[in-house]
């Protein structure tokens, strides 16, 4: 399907896919992320980190208040909103950058879009709250659909696939069709294979190596590889020392068609996408 390159968003911001890949900055409104360097203990700290990410070259800010690291337990919507709304409202007063919110709950999605968000990043791909799709259609928000197997609390307990690339492609294609049927425009749908979400190292490597199969589904695509465990499995490095592995992995993903990379280290990712674009456009 033909892709529109510039997507207008509810706040008046825009997703511009006409140039280098977009850099989505991870901003955690919680203290229990797997990467200690991304912890924020207050709304003010999260807002300041988001503003620094914008200065460093982020083109999307992704706020999240419910940790989805392996072993994490879900929180209720009230607590999620208590953490999110002051951050979104405070950031929106100071920035016009596209704002994404990592949530799987319809109550949270509705409230954050009303508070100034533009994108719902749904790790459940509409399974937990199918109502998110018609809400995004109504608001003309973008919608990220991610593959996972199981829930974060138990998803890494012996996951198994016969043909992981085909299975993830089939799952994401079906999720995208559900969004389309609910009225979400195709150019507002973004697909994420969910690296590390109910997957073994070999599954993650297969999905990254063959990411072009997901890009070929015809929607915009996102890769979230930043400092993840597969990098440590290959390099032996702890989370704090996985930046080089993250850059190498993201470079491969860009070559396989990723339109957005979701990262903790924005300046380095900005340099990567600018250089990749300079080389690939020659």
User: Does the residue 3 lie in any domain?
Assistant: no
Cβ-based burial of 104 (10 A; exposed 0-12, middle 13-18, buried ≥19)? buried
The set of residues, in sequence order, having a beta carbon less than 8 Å from that of 111 and lying 6+ positions away, is 81, 84, 85
Cβ-count burial 171-199 (b if 16+ within 10 Å, e if not): bbeebbeebbebebeebbbbbbbbbbbbb
Residue 6 counted as domain residue:
no
pLDDT digits (tens, 9 = 90+) for 113-143: 999 999 999 999 999 999 999 999 999 999 9
Q: Confirm whether 88 is domain-assigned.
A: yes
Domain membership flag for residue 4: no
Q: What is the pLDDT of residue 70?
A: 65
CA–CA distance, 10 with 119 (Å, rounded to integer) = 9
Which pLDDT does position 226 carry in this prediction?
96
Catalytic (active-site) positions: 228, 262
Residue 122 host element (H or E): strand 119-122
Placement of tokens 């503003």 in the chain: 51
Would residue 5 count as lying in a domain? no
Domain of 251, CATH number, reads 3.20.20.20
**Count of structural domains within the chain:** 1
pLDDT beneath 50, residues of the chain: 35, 38
Question: What counts of helices (H) and strands (E) characterise the chain?
Answer: 10, 10
C-alpha to C-alpha distance for 223 and 268, rounded to whole angstroms: 16
Residue 274, pLDDT score: 98
Residue 153 is part of which domain span? Answer: 20-280
Q: Is residue 130, in this structure, part of any structural domain at all? A: yes
């Amino acid at each position: 399907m033909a892709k529109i390159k510039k997507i207008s968003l509810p706040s008046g911001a825009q997703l511009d896919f006409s140039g280098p890949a977009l850099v989505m900055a991870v901003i955690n409104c919680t203290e229990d992320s797997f990467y200690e360097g991304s912890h924020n203990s207050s709304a003010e700290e999260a807002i300041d980190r988001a503003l620094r990410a914008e200065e460093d070259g982020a083109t999307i800010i992704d706020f999240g208040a419910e940790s989805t690291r392996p072993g994490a337990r879900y929180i209720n919507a009230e607590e999620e909103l208590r953490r999110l709304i002051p951050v979104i409202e405070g950031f929106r007063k100071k920035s016009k950058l596209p704002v994404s919110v990592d949530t799987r709950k319809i109550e949270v999605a509705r409230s954050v879009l009303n508070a100034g968000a533009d994108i719902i990043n749904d790790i459940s791909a509409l399974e937990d709250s199918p109502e998110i799709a018609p809400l995004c259609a109504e608001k003309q928000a973008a919608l990220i659909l991610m593959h996972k197997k199981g829930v974060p609390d138990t998803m890494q307990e012996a996951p198994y696939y016969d043909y992981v690339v085909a299975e993830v492609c089939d799952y994401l294609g079906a999720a995208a069709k559900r969004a389309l049927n609910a009225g979400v425009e195709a150019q507002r749908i973004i697909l994420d294979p969910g690296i590390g979400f109910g997957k073994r190292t070999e599954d993650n490597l297969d999905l990254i190596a063959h990411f072009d199969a997901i890009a070929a589904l015809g929607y915009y695509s996102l890769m979230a590889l930043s400092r993840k465990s597969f990098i440590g499995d290959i390099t032996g490095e702890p989370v704090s020392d996985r930046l080089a592995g993250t850059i190498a992995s993201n470079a491969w993903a860009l070559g396989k068609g990723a339109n957005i990379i979701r990262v903790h280290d924005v300046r380095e990712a900005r340099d990567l996408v600018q250089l990749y674009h300079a080389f690939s456009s020659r």
